[in-house]
Amino acid sequence: MGIRLYDERPEALLEAMLLIRAYEEKAAALQAESGTPGTCTAVGQEAAAVGVVAALGADELILTNHRSAGHLLARGADPGRLLAEVMGRRGGYCKGKSGSLHVSARELGVVLTSTIVGGELALATGVALAQKQLRRPGAVVCFFGDGAACEGRFHESLNLAALWGLPVLYVCENNEWQAFVHRRETMLAEGIAGWAGNYGIDHATVDGNDVEQVRAVAAAALESVRGRGRPFLLEARTYRLRGHFEPDDQAYVDTDELAAWRARDPLPRMEARLLASGRCDAGAITAMKAAVAAQVAAAHAFAIDSPYPALEELTTDVYA
């Protein structure tokens, strides 16, 4: 499977979100059932991932964070290879050596996944500088969370990107929670997009649970980045519906807040919109869900059949 490029069909956006949800729920279930290595899911944030990735061209590069499965799958990652990677199998994107927290997929333009909070912000600056100096087309897209926006490297990275005129689209998936700490415990501002203005960087805030709105605003932002060769910050306001890291009972989460955000779940929201518009009927959506379930089942079978790396591979692919 290679880079996925999206057409204008809104049902393609729903299909991508359904795949991400099914994949992440399967990964969480495997952890609970059999002790498969845990992972940081982004259940509830699918619209932010799909909306941005659907706006990308083939030349764009991606740097992402520890909640990376949605970005990878939206970009066209093979769910079997991705699950094999999480399970430490040789058939994974990095031969089982990265787990879920350090995946890179060169063929998809996914440069890296950083488990260091905000680590991808500093690295995106370097990648964008290389793109500019080598006169390569396409923007660099950097996904991070609101927790990373509280790190010093956020400000350092934006300052240099503005100063050097780098083609970076910064995407903050503001999901209200920074591991086990609520956003309101770490910042006074209600959002972070405005912070970019201090560096002369254009910015926008979007409903991160509306996939079509995210795609439209991301497309406009990318047009600005490509045309002007300057950074842009897009803040997608969303919410993760599962805990920080599997397993996690979310005992620290306010139940009323969680219920309010469940009512804004981006998947049934998009389903309802497609039904109301006549783009899809109930049978088509049911068939789409069945196809996605079969795809995830096949992915699990592939991962299980993939062997573990041999002992002699312990020091291969290691720089030093």
* 247 preceded by a cis bond (ω within 30 of 0): yes
How many whole angstroms separate alpha carbon 155 and alpha carbon 160? 9
- In a domain, residue 313? The reply is no
Q: Is residue 318 part of a domain?
A: no
In a domain, 308, yes or no: no
Q: Residues 6 or more apart from 280 whose CB is under 8 A from it?
A: 11, 14, 271, 274, 288
Which pLDDT value is given to residue 260? Answer: 95
Give how many domains the chain has, as a whole number: 1
317 occurs within a structural domain: no
Say if 270 falls within a structural domain.
yes
Residue 67, CB-side half-sphere exposure with 13 Å CA sphere = 33
Note every long-range contact of 219-222, with CB atoms under 8 Å and residues 24 or more positions apart, other chains counting.
219/55, 221/169, 222/55, 222/56, 222/57, 222/60, 222/139, 222/169
Which neighbouring-strand residues pair with 143?
Answer: 171
Q: Are 274 and 10 in contact (CB under 8 A)?
A: yes
Look at residue 312 and tell me if it is in a domain. no
pLDDT of residue 285: 97
Within a domain: residue 1?
Answer: no
**Is 59 within a domain?**
yes
The DSSP secondary structure of the chain, one letter per residue, reads -------S-HHHHHHHHHHHHHHHHHHHHHHHHH-PPP----TT-HHHHHHHHTT--TT-EEEE-SS-HHHHHHHT--HHHHHHHHTT-TTSTTTTSSTTTS--BGGGTEEEE--STTHHHHHHHHHHHHHHHTT--S-EEEEEETTGGGSHHHHHHHHHHHHHT--EEEEEEE-SEETTEEGGGT-SSS-SGGGGGGGT-EEEEEETT-HHHHHHHHHHHHHHHHHH---EEEEEE---SS-SSSS---TTS-HHHHHHHHTT-HHHHHHHHHHHHTS--HHHHHHHHHHHHHHHHHHHHHHHHSPPPPGGGTTTT---
Q: Which domain holds residue 91?
A: 10-301
State the 10-residue block means of pLDDT for the chain, 320 residues long: 92 98 96 88 97 98 96 98 96 93 95 93 96 95 94 95 98 93 86 93 98 98 96 97 91 94 97 96 96 98 96 84
CATH number, domain of 43, equals: 3.40.50.970
